[in-house]
Amino acid sequence: MPCAKSLARAPLARAASNALHAPNARLASLPRSNVFAACTKMAGDHGAVNLGQGFPSWPVPQFVLDAAAASIRDSEAGFNQYSRPGGHPLLLDAIARFTASRFRRPISEENVTVAAGAQGAISNVFATFCAEGDEVVFIEPAFEMYSRMAAMHGCHVRGVPLGNVTGASVASTSEQLTLDIPALEAAITPRTRLLILNTPHNPTGKVFSRAEYEAVASVVRRHPRLLVLSDDVYEFMVLEASLEHVHFALLPGMWERTISTFSAGKTFSCTGWRVGYCIGPPELIAPLTSTQSIVSFCAAAPLEVAIARSIDAAEALGYFDSLAASLRHKRDELVAALGAAGLKPIVPGGGYFVLCDTSGLKAAGGPSPPSALADDNAFAQRRDYLACAALTKSVGVLGLPIGGFYSPANRHLSDSLLRFAFCKADGELHEAAERLREAKARGAL
Amino acid sequence: MERISWRGRGLLGVALVQGVGGLASSGAPVGHPRGQAAHRLAGADAPTVWSEFGALARETGAVNLGQGFPDWAPPQFVLEAGMQAMSRNCHQYTRTAGHPPLTSVLARRYSAHLERQIDPTAEIAVTVGASQALFLTLQALVNPGDEVLVIEPTFDLYYGQIRVAGATAVGVPMDLDAASGEWHLDMARLDAAVTARTRVLILNSPHNPTGKVFSRDEMLALADFVRAHPRLLVISDEVYKYTVHGHGSSHVHFAALPAMYDRTVTVSSAGKTFSVTGWQVGWAVGPPALIAPMQAYLPLAQFCVATPLQEALSLALDAADRPLFALGGEQVRTLTGDAIDGAARADGAPLVDYYSWRRAQYARKREALADALSAGGIRPLPCAGGFFTMGETSSISVPDEYMRASTAAAPSMRRDWALCRYLAIEHGVLLIPASPFFSREEHERGAALVRVAFCKTDETLERAAERLGTFGSAHAPAAAAQLMAARAAVRAARAAAPQAQAQGVAVRVPMGGK
């Protein structure tokens, strides 16, 4: 895979011919194209039900909206003026109490830092702890922002693929996806700075078990320089009663090594509010606050206060239980429809998404050209994108191709995969199910 | 809530960050690499003028004229816009480069400001406040080892952001004319500061901390300078552009000057203009070649700026042009134009737009602060824009114990720092020393200067005036008397001039929320 350094070198040669406008070398190497935007456009062009993007299409819960209206309106309280880097005091207090009760360990404001969305929080982790030449390891397929941020900071990435995502013994549920511990151990070198974990997992919906995480912890213990970023944004979306959300930070010896990230936007279905936070030991949290103070100073104060009030109100309202129940229902409807259409869904134990296999699709083409696998900008030539386009046009339902969720060396594993989101209003899911049924009936699939 | 900011030290060496609580508490040895933050952030959590004076404000209960944000509520029409946005379906991710309703309003407005057709898709990036617009512009334009020219005294956040971009800040100090109190930039000095590595010039007008509004002639001279250096780009920080209140001054958009559009990223925000600094919505406007790299970075930085607040501003920006306010009074019409019952309005006061109303309010507060400083024996320097006035303090003698003191942020004490501590601790008024706004080599230029904010309610300014008056009559009576006489002369001249009534300067009505 072309490493970030060589990508950075190339644009400087072009820069000589237009010296005035030559951007920073590393930014010049960022992929310009965006599969999300292309899919959104495609869905719009064909009037398709867009199950590509991971944001909810149901309304924000009323108690959350009311809290935002109140914090803007209550102008005497000053919530419309600067918050502070690291988070508004009211939000830090609410998060600390809430987390302490979930973690069953003391959590104070020193253990919390707020950023502009979980994405902003992850960006701050990279900016704070990763230097050029560091290595970053994650479990693939993985939310593609991790690899983009790594490239942005001049870090090399190594992906450890989950087993049974595809192939002869393909999983039928996310619990059957396997984590290869020896491969994880082999991926870690003296230059590895960050291991990124994500549970419930985007895009597979796997809820990593305690045993799996204990095996990971034993690897981490052998590498003193390693920091762990645990992306827990789907924490409240565990959809099976038999599964529990495991906080990696709470395993023995892992608290000091781990930064756990959470998203108010995902939790309260307001992804546009940009309030996210990290939990960890003070020596990892304080530098994140310092970074925040330079990068964007603080998050949006009235929305921070609204989230604080929402956190306080949610448990008593039974909000988390009703969220999980509602999502489970939606998952079941979509999984049934996808299965009946021959798309072989891997039933997710948690999260917003279900991975499907398109190898049985009529319209599916041959394997991706190798050059397209290595090039982030060439997604439109890949088999998974072509399958997405075929499905969008013939069925009127769009699922996201996830080639960008794999490092180039493993990208071929995504050839037959599409990711469908079920975090959508019931009306949209019914429509999607109906279109799948109808397309199957007329032999289009 | 202090604004945490910090001085760059110009060093790129590796350093360890000692976080709160210390590494030792984790069981890892001090200096353990696990806690080691990337070297470019070294010193980010060191004590600063802001942390020290923020703490002093809390401890002493002094009248706080240090913080650079208003202590009043946002205008009612802005809150109305916020409420309206909350009721709309705009709570999920929006377009990463900016919410289309907001970018289209910004494109229309900047097309008028910059006298060209601005493309909302390619020439605008919406950011988390102007702070992030500055940060991202530097990240996008600057390579490690580049130099960035900064005109001093200057807003010190620039130093930190320049360092994080791996570049070196090169400070070019302005000269203060003792007689007029005006700041002047020596163009030869600016030219001499350019090297083969100079990449960016940061302009800030209206200027923090001096209140200078660069004239059209000064801007044209700067444009000539930029033209003479083909590799130079400009960041024009215009967050105070709607706070131009000096008689005869007006804001010049640097990017509108001949041949400057392609060289310039224009940065501004909603926070200062609409007294919603907590909404954190800012923007950068410029040619596609300069904006595209910022847009590429935005999804990685935080994906997008808060959608409902962008929606609210798309309503508020245009509403601010409509005649909703009684000059010298209050908002008398709602966002949608309905009359507001009971809104205070002096007979015959014309209805004006928010920007005009606000200018008149700031002009009045500027004058009130000038009177208050004079009563304290501090000479107010001319201020044409923004909401800070600088004061000249040479008539005040600072007690030895303060001159000899040492604090975490000022281990080697400076006169202006000592004076501000003295005034806060013993005389109940908190002003900000000027030396931190200069680079270390030039800090002496701030020795007799302070920065004072007047974005404060009339009640706050009156309390400050009382305390400064008490201080002045006890500790600098001759200076106070002389300065107050000068102020009386200025007021008399102004009252006689017809422009004063038009500006609403003489009319006093309490400002802010009920």
Domain spans of chain A, in order of start: 26-55+320-441, 62-317
How close B183 gets to chain A, by Cα (Å)?
28
Contact between A184 and A357 (Cβ < 8 Å): no
Predicted confidence at residue B44, as pLDDT, reads 55
Sign of CA dihedral B92, B94, B100, B106: positive
Tell me how far apart the alpha carbons of residues A364 and B184 are, in angstroms, rounded to a whole number: 69
Looking at chain A, which residue has its C-alpha nearest residue B83? A69
Cis status of the peptide bond prior to A200, with omega within 30 of 0:
yes
Give φ, ψ of B64 to 5 degrees.
-95, 100
A358 Cβ partners below 8 Å, 6+ apart? Answer: A343, A364, A384, A387, A391, A416, A417, A418
Identify which has the larger pLDDT, B2 or A168: A168
Identify which has the larger pLDDT, B72 or A135: A135
Across the interface, of A55, A226, A302, the residue whose CB is closest to B278 is: A302
Report which of B461, B483, B477, B476 is spatially closest to residue B380, judged by C-alpha positions.
Answer: B483
Choose, out of B12, B34, B96, B459, the residue to mutate when testing the contact with A (most A CBs < 10 Å): B34
Sign of CA dihedral B237, B239, B242, B247: negative
Query: What angle, rounded to 10 degrees, do the helices at A117-129 and A145-152 form?
Result: 40
Q: Do A287 and B44 touch (CB under 8 A)?
A: yes
Strand partners, B435: none
Identify which has the larger pLDDT, A159 or B301: A159
Give φ, ψ of B156 to 5 degrees.
-75, -10
Q: Do B21 and A80 touch (CB under 8 A)?
A: no
Report which of B141, B304, B7, B362 is spatially closest to residue A272, judged by C-alpha positions.
Answer: B304
Chain A residues close to B12, C-beta within 8 Å: none
Tell me how far apart the alpha carbons of residues A124 and A289 are, in angstroms, rounded to a whole number: 9
**Tokens (6 digits) for B391:** 């004061």
Choose, out of A293, A305, A310, the residue to mutate when testing the contact with B (most B CBs < 10 Å): A293
A64 Cβ partners below 8 Å, 6+ apart? Answer: A268, A269, A270, A306, A307, A310
Contact between A234 and A56 (Cβ < 8 Å): no
DSSP B325: E
Tell me how far apart the alpha carbons of residues B162 and A101 are, in angstroms, rounded to a whole number: 41
Chain B residues close to A113, C-beta within 8 Å: none
Q: Do B278 and A130 touch (CB under 8 A)?
A: no
**What is the amino acid identity at position B163?**
R
Lowest mean pLDDT among A23-32, A232-241, A337-346: A23-32
Across the interface, of A19, A57, A119, the residue whose CB is closest to B302 is: A119
CATH code of the region A62-317: 3.40.640.10
What is the average per-residue pLDDT within A394-418? Answer: 94
Looking at chain A, which residue has its C-alpha nearest residue B271? A81
DSSP A420: E
pLDDT lower than 50: segments of chain B: 1-37, 39, 501-502, 504-514
**Tokens (6 digits) for B134:** 């500055």
Tell me how far apart the alpha carbons of residues A12 and A7 are, in angstroms, rounded to a whole number: 10
Tell me how far apart the alpha carbons of residues A28 and A7 are, in angstroms, rounded to a whole number: 9
What is the average per-residue pLDDT within A299-309? Answer: 93
- Write down the residue that tokens 């041949």 correspond to: B259
Query: What angle, rounded to 10 degrees, do the helices at A383-395 and A426-441 form?
Result: 90
- Cα(first)–Cα(last) distance of chain A, in Å? 35
B210-242 as b/e: b if 16+ CB within 10 A = bbbbbeeebbbebbebbeeeeebbbbbbbbbbb
Choose, out of A81, A225, A288, the residue to mutate when testing the contact with B (most B CBs < 10 Å): A81
A204 Cβ partners below 8 Å, 6+ apart? Answer: A141, A162, A165, A174, A177, A346, A348, A353, A355
Contact between A20 and A366 (Cβ < 8 Å): no
Chain B contact for A445 (CB, 8 A cutoff):
no
Chain B contact for A298 (CB, 8 A cutoff):
yes
Tell me how far apart the alpha carbons of residues B505 and B502 are, in angstroms, rounded to a whole number: 8
A444 Cβ partners below 8 Å, 6+ apart? Answer: A362, A394, A395
Across the interface, of B262, B278, B302, the residue whose CB is closest to A274 is: B302
Looking at chain A, which residue has its C-alpha nearest residue B264? A21
Chain A residues close to B300, C-beta within 8 Å: 30, 119, 123, 145, 148-149, 152
Chain B contact for A85 (CB, 8 A cutoff):
yes
Choose, out of A226, A295, A305, the residue to mutate when testing the contact with B (most B CBs < 10 Å): A295
Please, is A348 exposed, middle or buried when counting C-beta atoms within 10 Å of its C-beta (0-12, 13-18, 19+)?
buried
> How many inter-chain contacts (A to B, CB under 8 Å) are there?
265
Q: CB B327: neighbour CB atoms within 10 A?
A: 24
Q: Do B297 and A301 touch (CB under 8 A)?
A: no
Q: Do B73 and A76 touch (CB under 8 A)?
A: yes
How close A150 gets to chain B, by Cα (Å)?
10
Could you tell me where the DSSP H helices lie in A279-340?
282-295, 301-314, 319-340
Contact between A59 and A87 (Cβ < 8 Å): no
Chain A residues close to B201, C-beta within 8 Å: none
Predicted confidence at residue B156, as pLDDT, reads 87
How close A146 gets to chain B, by Cα (Å)?
9
Tell me how far apart the alpha carbons of residues B270 and B320 are, in angstroms, rounded to a whole number: 11
Tell me how far apart the alpha carbons of residues B306 and B278 are, in angstroms, rounded to a whole number: 11
Give φ, ψ of B456 to 5 degrees.
-130, 155
The number of CA neighbours under 13 Å toward the Cβ of B213 is: 22
Chain A residues close to B289, C-beta within 8 Å: 18, 21, 23
Looking at chain A, which residue has its C-alpha nearest residue B87? A65
* Model pTM score: 0.86
Report which of B247, B248, B201 is spatially closest to residue B226, judged by C-alpha positions.
Answer: B201
Chain A residues close to B297, C-beta within 8 Å: 27, 30, 152
Report which of A77, A101, A100, A73 is spatially closest to residue A89, judged by C-alpha positions.
Answer: A77
Strands, DSSP E only, in B39-85?
63-64
Across the interface, of A79, A284, A287, the residue whose CB is closest to B41 is: A287
3.20.20.80, 3.90.1150.10, 3.40.190.100, 3.40.50.300: CATH of A26-55+320-441: 3.90.1150.10
Q: What share of chain B is helix, strand, coil (3-state, %, to 5)?
A: 45, 15, 45
Tell me how far apart the alpha carbons of residues B196 and B418 are, in angstroms, rounded to a whole number: 39
Chain B contact for A133 (CB, 8 A cutoff):
no
Q: Do A287 and B263 touch (CB under 8 A)?
A: no
Reported residue count of chain B is 514
Report which of A102, A114, A85, A122 is spatially closest to residue A290, judged by C-alpha positions.
Answer: A85
Distinct helix (H) and strand (E) counts, chain B: 16, 17
Q: Could you say which residues from 341 to 360 on chain A have a Cβ atom under 8 Å away from some Cβ of chain B? A: none
Chain B contact for A65 (CB, 8 A cutoff):
yes
Q: Residue A261: is its pLDDT beyond 50?
A: yes
Band (pLDDT 50/70/90 cuts) for residue A19 is low
Strand A258-263 and strand A276-279: the pairing is antiparallel
Tell me how far apart the alpha carbons of residues B268 and B205 are, in angstroms, rounded to a whole number: 11
Chain B contact for A256 (CB, 8 A cutoff):
yes
Chain B residues close to A303, C-beta within 8 Å: 306, 308-309
Q: What share of chain A is helix, strand, coil (3-state, %, to 5)?
A: 50, 15, 35
Q: CB A57: neighbour CB atoms within 10 A?
A: 18
Q: Do A19 and B305 touch (CB under 8 A)?
A: no
Q: Do B131 and A296 touch (CB under 8 A)?
A: yes
Distance of CA A131 to the CA centre of its chain: 22
Tell me how far apart the alpha carbons of residues A339 and A329 are, in angstroms, rounded to a whole number: 15
Q: Do B300 and A148 touch (CB under 8 A)?
A: yes
Q: Do B93 and A145 touch (CB under 8 A)?
A: no
Please give the share of chain B, as a percent, with pLDDT higher than 70. 88
